[in-house]
Structure 1
Amino acid sequence: MKKKIGISLTEASAANYENWFTPGDLGEEIELVILSYLLNNVEDISTCDGFVLTGGVDVLPSYYGGAENYPHQPAHFSPERDAFEKVIYEYSQQQRIPVLGICRGLQYINILEGGKVYEDIGEAANQIHKKDVVDKIHEVHIRKDTLLHTITGLDTGQVNSAHHQAIHPDHLGLNLMVSATSGDNIIEGIEFKDKTDKAFLLCVQWHPERMPEKESNPLSQKIKDQFIQAVRNHSK
């Protein structure tokens, strides 16, 4: 039986996540499953050996005690998606299943672990991080003694950015640690602090699935490779 990577459905550029995992990456033993809040296919969650929580619309502010109105908030939130992805994440932790969180995925995992995000990072930071026509490109600094540093072998690197929210550094979720920051101190990566009895968890604020030169940039390719290896190693 093939192993499965469950990718949460997003309103934004969903195909990029599927296309990131090439036939060469997956081989004959892994396949992709779209976990859709629109279809509410919760029965597929338990078939998965790894999960990707994707980018997309802001999480409902009531999940983290945020303001009801704030700059650049979406015209519509997606409470159905929030609820569905909460089920995915809670299942992943109960069953010790590898998780890769991307952009919104990073923010939401922090929220689900009891943390908070900035509703909006402010206009100065938005000039560096918020997508205009294309993703912004900026440098990140990777902290030593982290899983991210071990995987990538980098102290610094270039990433693509498309967000106006970020983890609040004073409200990091339970048992989470920062693995990377930008030059203006936006949190760019998180992982478990105490990894004892925990499955692979790596979350990044950038978009490795659509990064320029993603096949050669370790901040895309090596992250993907390590996640796939964790999926291969997972046993139900």
Structure 2
Amino acid sequence: MSRASLIGLSTYGRGDNKRYSLPAEYVSAVRRAGGVPVLLTPGMPPPGDWLERLDGLILSGGGDIDPARYGGAPHEALYAIDAQRDAFEFALLAAALARRMPLLAICRGLQVLNVHLGGTLHEHLPDVYGEQVAHRAPPREPTPHALRIAPGSRLAALLGGEAAVASSWHHQGIDTLGRGLTPVAWAPDGLIEAVELADYPWLAAVQWHPELTADKDPAQQALFDALVAAGQ
């Protein structure tokens, strides 16, 4: 009998309430997949030998990346910028990629991946895409929208087709693509909603929040199931 996969999940920073946190839906989705969640908090020692004990990694959603990391500009809509979290997650991602660890990047996690690989972000989507598609409901709540998925992509195979519904909760997104990334899903307004990395064993990076609907939608749960299976 194989042991359960240990899946690291990056958490939010301490913030004003001085508590590390992560929405329970992430943990529940990993548990349903048969994995054991391990919370990774900003401020931990740099990734080294301890990372070898994990079988997979989830870069979670949360606040915005400091725009200085991608040559962006300050914007009044930016929120929850956390230098400690940025430093930890970019180091964590670099170490995980070097080890070719199975990786699921969600919302902010996709943005961290894109910026790490030299890409840039739109600081505030309504400034570029208008209001054709609501990528989050005011003031900052999730909202559903359709997805178009590239035929033949790993994502299409995981989600079981070339269309899906995303639970969307973000105000930023990919502008220029990072090195080696291929877009594989789009919102109705044309925003890139998922990317894959060429020649990488197992990686899925999505702009939406699959954990929010994974308990009711097998297609969204399949992302966590596949991550855990890849780590076994």
TM range, normalised to the smaller chain?
0.7 to 0.9
Q: Distance in 1 between matches of 2:133 and 2:181?
A: 27
- Aligned mate of 1:202, from 204, 221, 224: 204
> Partner residue of 1:94?
98
> Partner residue of 1:178?
183
> Partner residue of 1:230?
230
Q: Distance in 2 between matches of 1:89 and 1:199?
A: 15
Identity rate of aligned residues, in percent? 30
**TM-score (normalised: structure 1):** 0.85
- Aligned mate of 2:147, from 127, 140, 143: 140
Q: Distance in 2 between matches of 1:82 and 1:73?
A: 14
Change (3 A) 1:25 1:2: closer
> Partner residue of 2:75?
70
- Gap regions ≥5 residues in structure 1: none
2:29–2:215 CA contact under 8 A, matched in 1: no
Shift of 1:202: 0.4
2:133–2:188 CA contact under 8 A, matched in 1: no
- Aligned mate of 2:23, from 4, 9, 14: 14
Q: Distance in 1 between matches of 2:92 and 2:7?
A: 12
> Partner residue of 2:18?
none
Cα deviation code 1:103-142 (max 9, x no counterpart): 0001110000110010111163486102336411110000
2:30–2:228 CA contact under 8 A, matched in 1: no
Shift of 1:2: 5.2
Give SS of 1:85's match: helix
> Partner residue of 2:172?
165
Q: Which residue identity lines up with residue 65 of structure 1 in the other structure?
A: G
Shift of 1:218: 4.2
Q: Distance in 1 between matches of 2:97 and 2:47?
A: 16
Shift of 1:3: 3.5
Give SS of 2:7's match: strand
User: Which range moves more in the overlay, 39-48 or 99-108?
Assistant: 39-48
> Partner residue of 1:131?
137
- Gap regions ≥5 residues in structure 2: 14-20
Q: Distance in 2 between matches of 1:14 and 1:38?
A: 19
Q: Which residue identity lines up with residue 138 of structure 1 in the other structure?
A: H
**TM-score (normalised: structure 2):** 0.87
Give SS of 1:128's match: coil
- Aligned mate of 1:48, from 50, 54, 75: 54
